[in-house]
Structure 1
Amino acid sequence: MSEARMRHYGVFYGLDPLPDNDGRPLVLLHGNCQAESLRVLLGAPDSPVRTVRIPPAHELVHSDLPHLHRLIGSSDIIVSQPIRPAYRGLPLGTAEVIAMARPGCRLVMVPVIRYAALHPYQVIIRSAEAGEPPIVPYHDLRTLAEADGAGAVPPPPAAAVRAVRDISIRELRQRQQRHATIDVVDLLQEAGLDACHVINHPGNPVLRGVARKIFKKMNFHQAVPDPGRILLDSVHAPVAREVITALGLEGEETTGWRVHGQSVSDETIRTAHLDWYRRHPQVVRQGLQRHAETARLLLG
């Protein structure tokens, strides 16, 4: 465990004290990078709650468990994304976490947000064997198809773009219902081009809306101020004019990526991914099978 990491999560590791118990409830947010962004918003100045920065669930290791248990036992409200039991071989599932909480601790469930409307070709493929592709951890169905021997892909039909949006919303609603989370679909639909930067990084308007809904679940009617910076700002994918038109949105297309503040062309990523697929052909097969419905719509 690096000293820099321990300092970054100083309260979590016991290097710094918990926020003063001034009568405000202590809220623990458990999940991925979306959860940390929500924590930033919920913990803004003048907030009715106290929060603590903790590592995302996918970074927690066995030696972190005593620190997590200590914070769970001190929390009044746990805000969690749905996490399966024995996640990564550790007791990090939502049900396992709430079982460790003290009596009276409340649970607020929020969904893992994935929204493909603005980036219909973009998919996520998990491969323990191959890991992630270079530059960005996102796959493009057109590049996967090319790696599988397909020819050039024409611009997407407007009906197909809208169908992918509808599939994305359908799947999100199913996850919300299955895990009894708050409903965020309206926030994505209202945000337009600010809905997300990539399929799993919602934009600030969506995140602020989710934070407002969390406060409402906690019985607080609290405004959520602008954080003064773009949250989840590490990767921004281009949005094509055909997509903007098909969805009836207003705004300008973007033609390149921004990755950790640097401009990267779509062609650079395509070339790097094709080279990576030659070394990991199983990912191509897995991706096209996993996302067959969307591929049929967009690729024919």
Structure 2
Amino acid sequence: MDHSPRTRHYGEFYGLSEPHGDSPITLVTGNCQAESLRIMLDGAGLRTVRLPAVHELTAADLPHLDHWLGRASFLISQPIRDGYRGLPLGTAQLSARLAAGARTVRVPVIRFAGLYPAHAIIRPPSDPGLVPPLVEYHDLRVLAEAAGLPTVRLNPATVRAIADHSLTQLSTREAAHGTVIVSDLFAAPSFTLMRTLNHPGNPIFAALAVRVRAALGLPSHATDPGRPLLNSVHAPREAAVLEAWNLDEADERPDWLVDGTPIEAGAVREAHLAWYSTHPDAVQAGLTRHADSLRILGLS
């Protein structure tokens, strides 16, 4: 086996080492949120194994994944469709490969737009993995500009309407997939809860870990990872959002932070407009996928 940086990073998964202890093996799978949840779950009756994010798994990884599925007592999974990326990585498919008596708990993909109401994720049909430069998040105001639609300024009422819409979508997904509930955690929005549209802060992961443990019949266990999780990107904090939720005006920040480096929102806008000009399918996909949000924002 090669000892590439990826292999060393996921050393336990690839069999370079064995997880410490004798507690039941627990796997947590999904997007980038899964690893943060795993960190919060580890210990006190659970022995976790770091897995590559589901979109990073390859056919060559399947024997390693099946090895751990055969050993796991618990699988914690975001809802993943069968045949994801042409591989048997769906939640139901993974659950079927667990040992007899092992249990699966589903957790939602967490997206909350109430703090970043104009931001969105768009998958261009030509290549769903394509992302714009500088930051991977789309701003619906810039998308509207690229499409020749009128732009508007955010106001507190619109922020709250987008938050309601976002929570309705989240609670609908929770019910549809039978997941642990997290939508109630956003009753009082603050920037400690979400760093971007889909990067929760430590308080959300801590609360979710408590609820997962409860679903498994295990006692709560407070974990301090000693660092902020999913901390590489922070979206701008806009005045209308602070006003909508009665947050401290000192928290306003007009620019992005990427790996600790400020990136001006204006520079992101210019780079994204240029990118849209060469990826018109992304514009159309965004207009279609986010039609409801565009309408709420007054951009359609």
Cα shift at 1:7: 0.5
Amino acid in structure 1 at the alignment position of 2:111: R
**Offset of residue 126 of structure 1:** 0.9
SS of residue paired to 2:257 = strand
Q: 1:190 to 1:219 in 2, by over 3 A?
A: farther
Note the C-alpha offset of 1:122: 0.2
Equivalent-residue separation in structure 2 for 1:128 and 1:104 (angstroms): 40
User: Is 1:157 matched up with 2:152?
Assistant: no
Q: SS in structure 2 opposite 1:244?
A: helix
Partner of 1:107, secondary structure, is strand
Query: Could you list the per-position Cα deviations for residues 5-33 of structure 1 after superposition, in whole angstroms to 9, with x for gaps in the alignment?
Result: 0000011111112434x2x2111101111
Name the amino acid aligned to 2:62: L
Alignment of 1:242-257 (within 5 A): 242-250=240-248, 252-257=251-256
TM-score, structure 1 normalization:
0.94
The percentage of counterpart residues that share the same residue type is 45
Q: Does 2:51 match 1:54?
A: yes
2:98 to 96, 101, 125: 101
Distance in 1 separating the partners of 2:122 and 2:253:
24
Say if 2:273 is the partner of 1:274. Answer: yes
Residue pair 2:117, 2:159 contacting (<8 A) in 1 also? yes
Q: Which residue identity lines up with residue 146 of structure 1 in the other structure?
A: E
1:236-283: CA deviations, max 9, x gaps?
Answer: 101111112123344521111111221111011111101101111121
Instruction: Tell me the amino acid that sits aligned with residue 245 of structure 2.
Output: L
Equivalent AA in structure 2 for residue 11 of structure 1: E
Q: Aligned residue for 1:126?
A: 123
Letter in 2 for 1:198: T
Tell me, yes or no, if the aligned pair for 1:198 and 1:236 is still in contact at 8 Å.
yes
Within 1, Cα distance between the matches of 2:247 and 2:224? 23
Asked if 1:111 is matched to 2:112, the reply is no
Deviation at 1:162, TM superposition (A): 1.0
Distance between the aligned counterparts of 2:162 and 2:203, measured in 1?
A: 22
CA deviation string 1:117-174 (max 9, x = no partner): 00110000012525111111110011011111235x3322322211110010000000
Report the counterpart of residue 258 of structure 1 in structure 2. 257
- The aligned amino acid for 1:123 is A
Q: Separation in 2 of the partners of 1:19 and 1:138?
A: 38
Change (3 A) 1:264 1:2: farther
Q: Does 1:11 align with 2:9?
A: no
Q: Residues 183-202 of structure 1: matches in 2 within 5 Å?
A: 183-190=181-188, 192-202=190-200
> Does 56-65 or 121-130 show the bigger shift?
121-130
| The one of 60, 64, 72 aligned to 2:61 | 64
CA-CA distance at 1:293 after TM superposition: 1.1
Partner SS for 1:192: coil
Provide the C-alpha distance between the structure 2 equivalents of 1:190 and 1:26, rounded to a whole number of angstroms.
35
Amino acid at match of 1:226: D
Q: Distance between the aligned counterparts of 2:125 and 2:295, measured in 1?
A: 26
For the residues of structure 2 that align with 1:188 and 1:55, how far apart are their CA atoms?
28
Q: Is the 8 A contact 1:143 1:273 kept in 2?
A: yes
Query: Retained in 1: the 8 A contact 2:189–2:245?
Result: no
Q: Secondary structure at 2:274's aligned position in 1?
A: helix
Equivalent residue number for residue 204 of structure 1: 202
Which one-letter code corresponds to 1:283 in the other structure?
A: A
Cα distance in 2 for residues equivalent to 1:257 and 1:140: 12
Secondary structure of 2:191's counterpart equals helix
Report how many aligned residue pairs link the two structures: 295
In structure 2, the CA distance between the partners of 1:261 and 1:275, relative to structure 1 (3 Å rule), is same
Q: Which is worse superposed, 234-243 or 127-136?
A: 127-136
TM-score of the pair, normalised by structure 2: 0.94
The amino acid across from 2:10 in the alignment is Y
CA contact (8 A) 2:69 2:94 kept: yes
Runs of 5+ unmatched residues, structure 2:
none
Report the alpha carbon displacement of residue 48 of structure 1 after superposing the two structures with TM: 1.9
Aligned partners of 2:229, 2:170: CA distance in 1, in Å? 21
